[in-house]
Structure 1
Amino acid sequence: MVVATQDAAEARRSFQQLKNRLHRQMVDVIDLSKAGELGDVEFRRQLQALATHLCSQPDLQLSEADREAMAAELMDEIYGFGPLQELMDDPDVSDVLVNGADTVYIERNGLLEQTDVRFADDEHLLHFIQRLVGQAGRRIDEVSPMVDAKLPDGSRLHAVIPPLALRGPTLSIRRFKTNIVQFEDMVRSGTLAPEMADFLIQSVRGRMNILLSGGTGAGKTTMLNNLSRFIPVSERVVTIEETAELQLQQADVVGLETRVPNVEGKGVVSQRDLLRNSLRMRPDRIIVGEARGGEVLDMLQAMNTGHDGSMSTVHANETQDALHRLELMIALSGAELPTRIARQYIASAIQIFVHVVRLSTGERKVTRISELTGVTDGEFDLEDIFVFRMAGIDDSGKVLGSFYATGYEPQCLRRMAAKGFDMNPRLFAARELKTGVDYKPRY
């Protein structure tokens, strides 16, 4: 069995090496000056014909199926994602991770899987990375061996090459998904309970400031996209992101994206710069894709000065950890605020905390929805409204556990009611909540 696996891997490597050689032949033959004269469609047709001709050479001894596969991959090398094209076409794949020429992993439905995809060698992988990075208007070489970029389809790319990458070029692609998972799907799949979804929807409509926390890949941005669905269409929204991922449906949305420095180290535009500038754009709400540094102080100031209903995300392992990270980021802003003042500032700005977790089984759960009511004796007053309690994993690999309403009635209900958004207090009665049901927002 091991020998068969090794033979298959060697066959895939040989296939990629042959494709690499044919690709170089195509590059030598192509007259790029004709591309503008012929137009994209005709130029692509001629490239396809050339690829088919090269793959049909008798000395290659390729079967008909291999010839078709080789021709298709040659076109992918020029226009697409090369050996990764099939993975990038799979809607269930959220991440593609390349650890050198012979090792490619994917994340599918929250779990990592090793694939049988191979590159010809490290040089092939390096040229592939350079092509993708070049399409994004960036560069990667020994002088700048690490790069973050956004691909034309919206996916995020991170690459590291030698001498920093010790085992060969490394590439990570976070897929950009056009089909956003809806709240209805989340309830049906058990990510959160209907009562939790209803409360979050009303919190958005009632203009509560919301912070979502969680680890990498937990689903914070997906949740933020869902919440943004319920912002009234009459409101003006400004989004600020390092890499544009939010897909708001409102008509009056201004999307701002940061800019990295150029080769000379100039031209950088940070999230803090964008946030300060956004206050002059007459926004009703500001959405910061991910709070990372000193811009947190400006975000909190906006939340405290008439931009109710603003939202953001932060990397954290727990809700309490998210609060401590906010304190740290305020310190990074250069504002020398005493801890007591900084905590009061946070408590007056943010009302609702939502913590999202990706479990070891790949499932994603909203494990905690909490309300921050203030500061007492220098400590945050954080009350859990809904929680998820895990009880183990069953034989099929599914998580055992339930969502619960803690019995705490949020103080923000009065603020929401004053704005015309009433909720039934019985929604918060202490009890176990059901999931896996067909759900439609009740509010």
Structure 2
Amino acid sequence: MVTEARRVVRRGTEPGLLESVRRRLLEAYPDLLARAKLDEAGRESVRRAIRQILIADGLAGDRARREELTTALFEEIAGYGPIDALLADPEVSEVMVNGPDRVYVERAGRLQRVDAVFRDTAHLLDVISRMLSLTGRRVDLSQPYVDARLPDGSRVNAVVPPVAVDGPYLTIRRFGSGLLGAESLVALGTVDGASLQALRCAVEGRLNIVISGGAASGKTTFLNAIAGYISLERERVITIEDAAELRFGEGNLVRLECRPANVEGRGRVDPRQLVRNALRMRPDRIIVGECRGPEAFDMLQAMNTG
């Protein structure tokens, strides 16, 4: 079910003002924009710098307009444009952009259309490029779709024309900051107590386990939860994922992530290669985040080795 959700749309920033402030920032604080992508302290530093530029140049008379411009300029220069506020909303678990003027979010399992809009296709492509610049991945005519992981762990999928008919399309799956414990599965009604105990015995007994389900059904959350029964102090665990999103504590944990080919079509590392390599790393357990190709054969072989 899709419902409508409305939010305040800020007045747009003039292109000339945007470029002027961006140029001033790069001249005065060349390293600040890079920091803004990595931590909240860096983001706040950029906001302060923008505010100071607006005051120094007399570009915003009253305080309310200055704060409005600061937020809008920050979103365009150091953030992710009109979806920046959505990505900061802890209630939003997924952001879906179906072209420049159709944006949906998922809150509490319900899809809602929001009033966030991009100026045009070029604006949306610019935001996608900014996101991917942090990941070392690309999307273009020769590689029209890409999976990536942002510094905060969010999973990004982007598709551009000609594959995207009405695109570009952008999908961002966000993950909570805290780890969900296995007991929470009972509280949420995912499993009952007896089933959870059976799962605990299966994990601690090092049985082979396959988790399957529909899209956005909670497979990764479920895996993260029951993986909490693994003792990372006594066992060496290797995870293999397209985009790293499994998080279940610290210890003797090795995380491997696939890599797409470069612009010359070289350097691709796929899940099958990583499964084979993981077998040479003295694993006690191998966890494959998503199995949907030839790596299934190698995974089954690994299961048979014990």
Q: TM-score, normalised by structure 1?
A: 0.60
Q: Cα distance, 1:117 vs. partner?
A: 1.5
Maintained 8 Å contact 1:99/1:171 = yes
1:410 alignment partner in structure 2: none
Question: Does 1:22 find its partner at 2:21?
Answer: no
The AA in structure 2 aligned to 1:220 is K
**Is the partner of 2:129 in helix, strand or coil?**
helix
More displaced 10-residue stretch of structure 1: 73-82 or 21-30 = 21-30
Question: Does 1:138 find its partner at 2:153?
Answer: no
Alpha-carbon distance in structure 2 between the residues aligned to 1:278 and 1:219: 26
CA shift in 2, pair 1:21/1:302, >3 Å:
same
Paired positions, count: 293
2:211 alignment partner in structure 1: 212
What is the 5 A alignment of 1:40-439? 44=46, 45-51=48-54, 56-57=59-60, 64-232=63-231, 233-306=233-306
Alpha-carbon distance in structure 2 between the residues aligned to 1:51 and 1:138: 34
Alpha-carbon distance in structure 1 between the residues aligned to 2:178 and 2:57: 38
CA shift in 2, pair 1:113/1:52, >3 Å:
farther
Alpha-carbon distance in structure 2 between the residues aligned to 1:216 and 1:20: 39
CA shift in 2, pair 1:188/1:34, >3 Å:
closer
CA shift in 2, pair 1:109/1:130, >3 Å:
same
- Deviations along 1:337-364, one digit per CA (max 9) or x if unpaired, are xxxxxxxxxxxxxxxxxxxxxxxxxxxx
Maintained 8 Å contact 1:244/1:257 = yes
Alpha-carbon distance in structure 1 between the residues aligned to 2:102 and 2:153: 24
More displaced 10-residue stretch of structure 1: 134-143 or 192-201 = 134-143
Maintained 8 Å contact 2:259/2:269 = yes
Identity of aligned residues (%): 44
**Superposition CA RMSD, Å:** 2.9
Alpha-carbon distance in structure 1 between the residues aligned to 2:103 and 2:83: 9
- Deviations along 1:95-126, one digit per CA (max 9) or x if unpaired, are 10011222110011211111121222322222
Alpha-carbon distance in structure 1 between the residues aligned to 2:304 and 2:290: 19
Alpha-carbon distance in structure 2 between the residues aligned to 1:100 and 1:54: 35
Maintained 8 Å contact 2:95/2:173 = yes
- Deviations along 1:256-283, one digit per CA (max 9) or x if unpaired, are 1111110111001111111111111111
Any unmatched runs of 5+ in structure 2? 36-41
Alpha-carbon distance in structure 2 between the residues aligned to 1:108 and 1:252: 35
Maintained 8 Å contact 1:96/1:104 = yes
Maintained 8 Å contact 2:149/2:155 = yes
Maintained 8 Å contact 1:55/1:71 = no
Maintained 8 Å contact 2:137/2:260 = no
Alpha-carbon distance in structure 2 between the residues aligned to 1:192 and 1:55: 60
Any unmatched runs of 5+ in structure 1? 307-443
**Is the radius of gyration larger for structure 1 or structure 2?**
1
More displaced 10-residue stretch of structure 1: 203-212 or 40-49 = 40-49
Maintained 8 Å contact 2:95/2:103 = yes
The AA in structure 2 aligned to 1:71 is T
Maintained 8 Å contact 2:101/2:118 = yes
Q: Cα distance, 1:43 vs. partner?
A: 7.3
More displaced 10-residue stretch of structure 1: 19-28 or 251-260 = 19-28
CA shift in 2, pair 1:166/1:280, >3 Å:
closer
Alpha-carbon distance in structure 2 between the residues aligned to 1:144 and 1:185: 40
**Is the partner of 1:35 in helix, strand or coil?**
coil
CA shift in 2, pair 1:96/1:267, >3 Å:
same
**Is the partner of 2:95 in helix, strand or coil?**
strand
Alpha-carbon distance in structure 2 between the residues aligned to 1:157 and 1:241: 14
Alpha-carbon distance in structure 1 between the residues aligned to 2:242 and 2:189: 30
More displaced 10-residue stretch of structure 1: 63-72 or 255-264 = 63-72
- Deviations along 1:353-378, one digit per CA (max 9) or x if unpaired, are xxxxxxxxxxxxxxxxxxxxxxxxxx
Q: TM-score, normalised by structure 2?
A: 0.85
Maintained 8 Å contact 2:25/2:49 = no
Alpha-carbon distance in structure 2 between the residues aligned to 1:52 and 1:218: 48
